[in-house]
A and B are shown apart, each in its own frame.
Chain A
Amino acid sequence: MEVISLFAKEYPFYITSAVLIFLGIALLLLKRNLLMAVLALEIAFNGINLLFATASHYLGDPKGKMVVLLVLAISAGSFAIGLILVVNYYRAKQSLSLEELRLLGEKENE
C-alpha cells in the first residue's frame, strides 16, 4: 500500500466520517441509557451523510447529494418513531436502563 498523506484533498473528509461512524457505533454498544444510545445512532447517521456528500463532491456525481436528502428524511422519521418507543418504554418500566431490556430474550417475569 502506498503511503497516504493526510493532507491530500479528500482523505481528511473520509477519515472524519469514518471516525464519526465508528464513534457512533462504539458508543451505541457502550452506553447503558436508551436515550443516549439513540443519540449515538444519530452521530453515526451524520457520519454516513458526510461520507455520501464527500464522495459525491470528489467523484463529481450529484446523485450522492440526493441520497443525503433521502437519508435525512428517513432518519428524521425513524428518530420520531424511536423516541416514541423510548417514551413508551419509560412509562412501562420507569427507567431507561438497557440492562433490564431483556423482555424478548428471557422469560423471567412469569
Chain B
Amino acid sequence: MLGEVLVFFYLASAMVISSLLAVVSRNPVHAILWILVMILHQAFMLYTLGSEFLTAVQIIVYAGAVLVLFLFVVYIINLRREERWRIFVERSSLGLVCFVVFLYLLFKNLAFFTALSPAFKANLPYHLAEATNLQWIARYLYSHYLFQFELIGVILLVVVFGAVYLLRKLKEES
C-alpha cells in the first residue's frame, strides 16, 4: 500500500512540475522536452490504472507523433524574440475568488463521485473480470460505438485535406 502511494505521488508530482516547467521555460525546445517527460509519466499512470493498451497508444500517438510535429514547427519558425509577460488581470483578489470557487466545485464533485460509485457498480450489466481490458475496448469499439469509430476516420481524412489545402495556399503566396 505504501509502495502504491509512493509511486502515485512520484508520478503526480513529476507530471505537475514538468508541465509547469514546460510552459514557464523560455526555450521552446526545452518546453517540448518537458512535455515529453510529462507524457511518459502520464502513460505510466494510465498503466497503474489498469489500462495497458492506453499506455501504448499514449506513447505512440503523443510522444511519437504530436511532439515530433511540435518540434518540426519549432524548427521551421525561429523564435528569437523573447515574449514578455504582461499582467492579464490587474486585481489578484478576483483570481483568489475564482480559485476558491473552483476548489469548492472540485471537492463537491469529488463527494458526488464517491456517492455515485457503489450504486453505479451495482447496476452494471456485465462483469468486468470476464475479459481483459483490450478485449473490452475492442468489444465496445466495434459493436456499440461503430458510428463514432467511422466518424474518427472521416475526421482524420478531413484533417489531411485541410492540411494539404492550407499548405498549398501558403506555397502560392511565398
CB neighbours of A81 from chain B (8 A) = 159, 162-163, 166
Return A98 CB to nearest CB of chain B, in Å. Answer: 8
Contact of A32 among B38, B74, B84 (CB under 8 A): B84
Contact A77 B159 (CB under 8 A): yes
Q: How distant is the Cα of A31 from the Cα of B31 in the complex, in angstroms?
A: 13
8 Å CB contact of B23 from A16, A39, A77, A88: A39
B54, A14: Cβ atoms closer than 8 Å? no
What is the chain A residue whose CB lies nearest that of B169? A88
Q: Is the CB of B73 within 8 A of A87?
A: yes
The tally of CB-CB contacts under 8 A between chains A and B is 185
B12 to A, closest residue via Cβ: A16
Which residues of A (12-49) have their CB < 8 Å from a CB of B?
12-16, 18-20, 22-24, 27, 29-33, 35-36, 38-40, 42-43, 46, 49
Most chain B CB neighbours (cut-off 10 Å) among A40, A42, A54, A91: A42
Q: A77-B155, A80-B69, A88-B166 are in contact. Are A42 and B108 (CB under 8 A)?
A: no
Across the interface, do B70 and A39 meet the contact criterion of CB distance under 8 Å?
A: yes
CA A60 to CA B15, docked complex, whole Å: 25
| Inter-chain contact B19/A70, CB cutoff 8 Å | no
Given A80-B163, A88-B170, are A74 and B20 also a contact pair (CB < 8 Å)?
Answer: no
| CA gap between A84 and B74 in the complex, in Å | 12
Distance in angstroms from B148 CB to nearest chain A CB is: 6
A36 lies within 8 A of B28 (CB) = yes
Residues of A close to B77: CB separation below 8 A: 35, 86-87, 90, 96
A55 touches B163 (CB 8 A): no
Q: Which residue of A lies closest to B55 (CB)?
A: A53
A109: min CB distance to chain B, Å: 17
Q: Point out the residue from A31, A39, A69, A74 that lies within 8 Å of B155, measured CB to CB.
A: A74
- B20-62, CB under 8 A of A: which get 1 and which 0? 1011000010011001001100100110011101100110011
Interface string of A1-13 (1 = CB under 8 A from B): 1101001001111
* B86: interface (CB < 8 Å): yes
Q: A69-B141, A81-B166, A83-B70 are in contact. List 9 more A-B contacts (CB 8 A).
A: A14-B106, A16-B12, A16-B45, A31-B83, A35-B70, A42-B66, A68-B51, A79-B69, A86-B73
Task: List chain A positions with a Cβ less than 8 A from chain B.
Answer: 1-2, 4, 7, 10-16, 18-20, 22-24, 27, 29-33, 35-36, 38-40, 42-43, 46, 49-50, 53-63, 65-66, 68-70, 72-81, 83-88, 90-91, 95-97, 99
